[in-house]
Amino acid sequence: MSRSGQHRYAYYLAILILLVFFGEIFWFKLFTPLENRLSDALIAHHAHSAQAQSQPDPDIVIIDIDERSLALLAQSVGRWPWPRALHAELLQGLERQQPRAVIFDVLFSDPDLTRPESDAYFAEVVSASRNSFFPMLRLQDADPAQGIPLAEHGALLGAIPGVHADQQAKVAMVLPLSAMLETGRLGTHNAIADADGVVRRYVMYFDEAGWQLPSLPLTVARHLQFEDLPQQSEVTLNWHGPALSYRRVSYADIYEDFQRTQPKRAADEFTGKIVIIGATANGLHDVRPTPVAVFHPGVEILATAIDNLKNHDPLVQVPVYIQAVTASVLLGLLAFAFASYRRIFWLGLALTVTTAGLLFAQFWVLRWQWLLPLLTVVIFVWLYYIVAASIEYLHERKVRQRAVETFSRFLDPRVVQALVEKGETTESLSGASRQISVLFSDIRGFTTLSENSSPEQIVELLNRYFTLQAGAIFRHQGTLDKYIGDAIMAFWGAPVEQPDHALLAVAAALEMSERLEQFRAEAGGLASELDIGIGVHSGKAVVGFIGSDNRQDYTAIGDTVNLSSRIEGLTKGVARVLVSEDTMQLCLQHGDACPFVFEDKGSFTVKGRAQAVRLYEPRKKQ
């Protein structure tokens, strides 16, 4: 894949994943359950850890129908449900303390046929009350055709008609007793759970064919003149602590104290308070799962909704376009990074840090009542990373395999491994100017051999010879450039930097001379007349992959290469191995580490050079 192709791939993949992401957040919503679970965990942690700054409103008090109340009152008035005269007496006692509101989280839907006088007493007290509120229940799955006509009874239910309200609309409801209906202080109390069964939101009003049917918290808020009430049909609840965080007083304790001639409790205990009468007793089964508790009493859910309206702090769902912008920016940055840098490990590390930052931001903004779902963004960004990294890995693997195949043609396998581990490729090794030592070797007597041997014998002989001589080059870490007929070109100093390239080249040349003798002995009569000439010169050359688009070879070009070839041509009748003065000086720079001595063979005129070239025959020190 070309560099420009790599650019296009990274950006095309980002666009594709971004389009799928848009489909997810606007239509499919497959990751919503996961998003909700993470949000629940963060909200729960925030609710448990931030109580100092976000405590339940102290003006909201729950009179709790708890297990203790059920047990104590069972001895005097019987088992639940209690006679409604108890609630009447409790309401009278509370109103003497002038609370802001008394809210019943008990649905008085059916008359007490065994104690009608108790109902009558309760109805009388309710009618005299000016700040008591009662729930009603909207039936979700019932047939609205059998329901209550809103045009006729909507005002009694507190329903507000909109501009396009359907005058024929009906709603299926479970209503309280008539005395409570007549107060007009009613509201729905439906704790509606999401698809996973968790209550996260509270419906402020139900839209029934253009009629707004208010919830109990909204009715309370309007009567108490809370400001800045939400206009949307539902709010996301902002939990001020775990379950049972609001101040609770046992129903039995309050009722018994009101019955005393000399009450023991403070006479203004509930003055100015919003009092909610509801149950936390397990036996009454009024519990729901919420983000902060598996079993959350319904009365506390009601208290939380009223608290949020009173203090203007329900959670605000951040607009979905924030997710879209965040994902677009992150995918764009990742695409740019993959196209430009392609460092998978460092990109993964940076993405890990970014992920931690995003999740921390999601938690941190809860301080300002913002609900910022970012898990889906994180999932899709990581999806891009995994796909892009996989493609990049496969591409790099292919490049490495191609590099190994290419380098193995002219380098020792150990050198190939070192180059591949460094991440070198055919592109990275092209067009470099290097200080190298170049060796040329040619066979003497090859023409005579060709005349007296069959083609098959010549090919077999050359292959055995080249294998033997290539072994010497590789053993001394050389780069086998090419075979030119019966000649060999090799060099040292590239692609791997070799400070002792001259020493290695001379050592290889002398070993090639020794291997020729071994070859002669093994080949017998056919090779007895063969000889070789080897020339070595050191200097600068341009090294890289050179050739057409269809075929390229790793080679060296320049005057250093030409002179090395000329030196090889001067060996005949002088010495089997000749090196230039430049090569000799580089070897001698190593001092005692140089294992060679050099015999001066004089100056020679070289074609293409104005000045003569001084040549030396190297020998191993004795």
- At residue 48, the pLDDT reads 84
Please report, as a single letter, which amino acid is at residue 130.
R
- Quote the CA–CA distance of 69 and 239 in Å, as a whole number: 26
Which residue ranges of the chain lie beneath pLDDT 50?
1-3, 51-52
Give the pLDDT confidence score for residue 427 in this predicted structure. Answer: 62
What is the C-alpha separation between 346 and 352, in angstroms, rounded? 10
Domain range 412-620, its CATH number among 1.20.1250.20, 3.40.50.720, 3.30.70.1230, 3.40.50.880: 3.30.70.1230
**C-beta separation of 104 from 277 below 8 A:** yes
User: In this predicted structure, what is the pLDDT of residue 462?
Assistant: 87
List the structure tokens of 60. Answer: 């909201």
Beta strands 247-250 and 274-279, pairing class: unpaired
Rounded Cα distance, 63 and 249, in Å: 5
Structure tokens at 406: 């290419």
Cα gap 76→83, rounded to integer Å: 11
Answer whether 376's CB lies under 8 Å from 321's CB. no
35: tokens are 């998003």
Task: Map out the domains of the chain as residue ranges.
Answer: 3-29+318-400, 58-136+182-310, 412-620
Q: Read out DSSP for 277-325? A: EEE--GGGT-EEEETTEEEEEHHHHHHHHHHHHHTT--BEEPPHHHHHH
For residue 595, CA distances in Å to 46, 505, 602 come to: 76, 13, 22
For 515-554, the pLDDT digits (tens) are 998 888 887 766 777 889 999 999 999 998 887 777 777 8
Specify the pLDDT at position 52. 43
* Residue matched to tokens 């009722």: 255
The candidate with the shortest Cα–Cα distance to 286, out of 107, 535, 26, 79, is 107
* Full 3-state SS string of 413-473: HHHHHHHHHCCCCCCCCCCEEEEEEEEEEEEECHHHHHHCCCHHHHHHHHHHHHHHHHHHH
Q: Would you mind telling me the total number of residues written for the chain in this entry?
A: 622
- pTM for this one? 0.72
d(CA 450, CA 452): 6
